Amino acid sequence: MNDKLEIGQIVNTRGLKGEVKVNSFSEVENRFETIDTILIKIKNEYKEYKIEKVSYNKNQTILKLEGVNTIDDAEKLRNLYIYIYRNQLDELPEGTYYIADLIGLEVFLESGEKIGIVDDIFSTGSNDVYVVKNELGQQKLLPAIDEVLKKIDIEKGRIIVNLIKGL
């Protein structure tokens, strides 16, 4: 399990004083208000930044980061991803997982037959949908409901599923 979780992406600059616009990937609305520092992945290295100020504009979070004081500084961060250390987050309730921990898990039928690997997860509003790809690149969409997802074992890297009628 990775000790860092991706929580957003810097998508643009705002103003002339180094603020950046962020698309948050977190389901927690005020995630950036609950943390003091973030990590930004630049090439293959993580650089730590202190958050000086958090504000909002429409569906985006606006961050002022320590040491990012001009539009040129902010421009260098455009399109980069924001991470935090896993220990900065509260423990999840039983049966709840971070998407980053589910991507890449092997998916098996209850009979033991492997049907693929979790390639992506998206929300439909009523429930999440797991995109499972097989070795040929074919996708199967599985709703994240109790009827389908029988067991998720992060430690063993596998999910056991029941393909209900229509899947």
pLDDT band at 120 (very low <50, low <70, confident <90, very high): very high
Average pLDDT of every residue of the chain: 91
pLDDT, tens only, 63-99: 999 999 999 999 999 999 999 998 887 777 787 888 8
Domain with CATH 2.30.30.240 in the chain: 99-161
Strands 60-65, 81-85: pairing is: unpaired
pLDDT at 159 over 70: yes
Helix (H) or strand (E) holding 102: helix 99-102
DSSP 101: H
pLDDT band at 104 (very low <50, low <70, confident <90, very high): very high
pLDDT, tens only, 45-71: 999 999 999 999 888 999 999 999 999
What is the second-level CATH architecture of the domain 4-88?
A: Beta Barrel (2.40)
Strands 149-153, 139-143: pairing is: unpaired
Domain with CATH 2.40.30.60 in the chain: 4-88
SS3 per residue for 64-100: EECCCCCHHHHHCCCCCEEEEEHHHCCCCCCCCCCHH
Integer Cα distance of 56 and 68 in angstroms:
18
Tell me the whole-structure pTM to 2 decimals: 0.74
Domain 99-161: give its CATH superfamily.
PRC-barrel domain (2.30.30.240)
Share of the chain above pLDDT 90, in %: 66
